[in-house]
Copies of this chain bind each other. A is one copy, B any other.
Amino acid sequence: MTYCVGVQLDRGLVFMSDTRTNSGVDNISVFRKMHQWSVPGERLITILSAGNLGTTQSVVSLLDERTKVPEDRQPSIFEVPTMFQVAELIGGLVRDSIARHLDGGQQAEAKFNATLIVGGQIAGMPPRLFLIYPEGNFIEASADTPFMQIGETKYGRPILLRAYDSSMSFEDAVKLLLVSFDSTIKANLSVGAPLDVSYYETDSLAAQPILRIDGSDEYFSSISESWGDALKRAFQSLPDFDFSKYS
């Protein structure tokens, strides 16, 4: 499994991904699931990936190759004019990568499925955030659904629904995502630290470094511990139940 979230804020975008991949519980590795490309001053594109590692690495490598060999006649995410076309291009690559492994040859028991979050901005247009399905189609975040989750989405969803606010700072958004990831890591062994984090400020058109937060990171540990206490206090602050009112 995997857990990745992309969040749209008034001031930009925030991304977080875990790094655990597993083939069974006895084969666990660390792989980066966050990838960034930028043409400074012109565009920035961030991708988060969940699903079959062969598929997602193949998509990322193809995207990477095409940005480096511009004379190649394949369209590149550096050349298409809109974020919508970036999402279409990546969706097509996802679909093709999966189809290539499904056609003929030995069939693995596992599916080759992959789901991606793609976010970024191209100069002159607002930032956009997409979720790309294994079939290559995609949906876009909006004011009603301002964040996209892929992988193990359920444990960490309630706190996102309750505490997200489009006007929050990048710092608060990272804090919120850490709480959401902490709940998920506590419940699902196949999601694990270290975590990768990045944010993108609207119209900066430049990549911020991807920060890595280890499981032993002092701040992350303090969030994890104080969240347990804060939740207990929040719970105690609720009005009490009274059986006699229901009998």
- Name A residues whose Cβ lies closer than 8 Å to a Cβ of B: 154-159, 161-163, 170-172, 174-176, 178-179, 183, 186-187, 197, 199, 209, 211-213, 219, 222-223, 226-228, 230-235, 237-243, 245-247
B243 pairs with A237, CB closer than 8 A: no
B223 pairs with A171, CB closer than 8 A: no
> Knowing that A163-B235, A174-B241 are A-B contacts, what are 18 other residue pairs whose CB atoms are under 8 Å apart, sorted by A's residue number?
A154-B154, A155-B157, A158-B159, A158-B183, A159-B231, A161-B187, A162-B227, A162-B232, A171-B240, A171-B241, A171-B242, A172-B241, A175-B235, A199-B243, A222-B239, A230-B235, A230-B237, A234-B234
B161 pairs with A186, CB closer than 8 A: yes
A240 pairs with B157, CB closer than 8 A: no
Q: Could you name 20 residue pairs across A and B whose Cβ atoms are closer than 8 Å? A: A154-B187, A155-B155, A158-B159, A158-B183, A161-B187, A162-B232, A163-B232, A171-B240, A171-B242, A172-B240, A174-B241, A175-B235, A175-B238, A212-B246, A219-B239, A219-B245, A223-B238, A230-B234, A231-B231, A233-B234
Which B residues are in CB contact (< 8 Å) with A171?
240-243
B211 pairs with A246, CB closer than 8 A: yes
Pairs of residues from A and B, 8 with the lowest C-beta to C-beta distance, nearest first? A154-B154, A230-B234, A158-B183, A234-B234, A211-B246, A171-B241, A174-B241, A163-B235
Which B residues are in CB contact (< 8 Å) with A163?
231-232, 235
Least CB distance from A206 to B in Å reads 14
B232 pairs with A175, CB closer than 8 A: no
